[in-house]
A and B are shown apart, each in its own frame.
Chain A
Amino acid sequence: MLDALAHALAPNAPIARGRGEAAIAEDERRLNALLGEGRATERVRLWTNSRCLVTTRRFACMESFAEAAAASGARGWPVFVRASGGTTVVHRPGILNFSVHDVGPTDAIDITSRFERFTRRLIAGFAAVGVAAETGSVAGSYCDGRFNIVSGGQKIAGTACLVRKRGGWLGVLAHAAISIDGDPHADLAAITEFERALGLDIPYVPASHTTLAAQIRMAR
């Protein structure tokens, strides 16, 4: 299932099996490297990660972050910080990460059009494996936003974006975390515990999330 979707998204691209912080930082490293080349290019990266929570600088700046991260780590969910926006998400082997690094010569900050192009690609990938999907917000989901990928009214993938400019070149990292299989309830519980320790109380709804495996089962 993971392989089928990966092939639909990026034929012939290998799936890297990453571990924790290094796998997350690789996206940023690649964006910087491509910006340094100073030529228009697009590269894709398919990868999975070991089990962890990935949060943003906003949360990492909170007073209780170190303590909350240590407690989460002790529960088996180490916390790492990513450069892109949003809120806390889950990485684990049952979640496929799809990153597109897009560098071009422009002074415009056309984030919306980049997101739209990226989500069209994701939706086409889901269609290729027999799952109908669209973009939209899902109330109660973690890292909610209007560029979620939604199937059957439930969030199946979250997206995030990092924008960098270097001397007339715009580099955009668009990233999707796609739930292939596993237990979204356990994911939500881990996020909720971590964010509560930060002092946040975001009312997540377990039924707001689904996986590719669940959607394929329902389609049969």
Chain B
Amino acid sequence: MTVYYSKEHEWVRVEGDTATVGITDYAQSQLGDVVFVELPAVGKALVQGKDAAVVESVKAASEVYAPISGSVSEVNDALEADPSLVNSAAETDGWFFRMSIGNAAELSGLMDADAYAAFCADL
């Protein structure tokens, strides 16, 4: 299992040929209390860098972008009943969706945990 991070503050956990995607702890802390997450439909084809989901907090609405290309295979239904999972467990139980990996080469453009920590430290 390898975890990658995007400059748009999404994380991608790769297990085999499946990637699980969510927003980082930094992103949730900036957004504030999350009240709603609009998830993509299962089967939807995602393109790297394009819209994948929407998250609404008490402060703002923000789009979540696909960190890699692929097809949505599963969404986290628990977020519908309890969107605050994004705040309390952004990088574990607060995952957004799972997807196939359409182009593994796109992962090489993402950061590992150390690089992402350094990236956030510079913001």
User: Residues of A at under 8 Å CB distance from B?
Assistant: 56-58, 61, 83-86, 106-112, 115, 145, 147, 160-165, 167-168
Is the CB of B44 closer than 8 A to any CB of chain A? Answer: no
A-contacting 9-mer, from B12-20, B58-66, B69-77, B90-98: B58-66
Return the contact of A109 from the options B9, B56, B65 (Cβ within 8 A). B9
- B59 with A57: CB separation less than 8 A: no
A57 touching B63 in the complex, CB below 8 Å, given contacts A85-B58, A107-B119, A109-B30: no
- A57 with B60: CB separation less than 8 A: no
Shortest beta-carbon contacts, A-B, top 10: A58-B36, A161-B60, A108-B123, A109-B30, A163-B62, A85-B61, A85-B56, A84-B61, A111-B60, A85-B60
- B58 with A145: CB separation less than 8 A: yes
Which residue from chain A places its CB closest to the CB of B9 in the assembled complex? A109
Is the CB of B38 closer than 8 A to any CB of chain A? Answer: yes
A-B CB contact pairs (8 Å), 5 listed: A56-B56, A57-B56, A58-B36, A112-B59, A161-B61
Return the contact of A56 from the options B26, B32, B36, B59 (Cβ within 8 A). B36
Which residue from chain A places its CB closest to the CB of B55 in the assembled complex? A85
User: Residues of B at under 8 Å CB distance from A?
Assistant: 7-9, 26-27, 30-32, 35-36, 38, 49, 54, 56-63, 65, 119, 123
Number of A-B contacts (CB under 8 A): 68
Which residue from chain A places its CB closest to the CB of B7 in the assembled complex? A107
Contacts of A84 in B (CB 8 A): 60-61
- A168 with B7: CB separation less than 8 A: yes
Contacts of B8 in A (CB 8 A): 165
- A57 with B54: CB separation less than 8 A: yes
Complex Cα–Cα for A164 and B31 (A): 12
Contacts of A115 in B (CB 8 A): 59
- B119 with A109: CB separation less than 8 A: no
Complex Cα–Cα for A85 and B69 (A): 27
Return the contact of A83 from the options B7, B26, B32, B61 (Cβ within 8 A). B61
Which residue from chain B places its CB closest to the CB of A144 in the assembled complex? B58
Which residue from chain B places its CB closest to the CB of A110 in the assembled complex? B30
Contacts of A167 in B (CB 8 A): 49
- A57 with B31: CB separation less than 8 A: no
A109 touching B61 in the complex, CB below 8 Å, given contacts A56-B36, A57-B56, A85-B56: no
A175 nearest CB across to chain B (Å): 11
- B63 with A111: CB separation less than 8 A: no
Complex Cα–Cα for A57 and B55 (A): 10
Which residue from chain B places its CB closest to the CB of A107 in the assembled complex? B7
A107 touching B123 in the complex, CB below 8 Å, given contacts A57-B36, A165-B8: yes
- B63 with A165: CB separation less than 8 A: yes
Which residue from chain B places its CB closest to the CB of A114 in the assembled complex? B60
Complex Cα–Cα for A58 and B56 (A): 8
Which residue from chain A places its CB closest to the CB of B119 in the assembled complex? A107
With A56-B56, A61-B38 known, 17 other A-B pairs at CB within 8 A are A57-B36, A57-B61, A85-B57, A85-B58, A85-B59, A85-B60, A86-B58, A106-B123, A107-B123, A109-B26, A109-B27, A111-B31, A112-B59, A115-B59, A160-B60, A165-B65, A167-B49
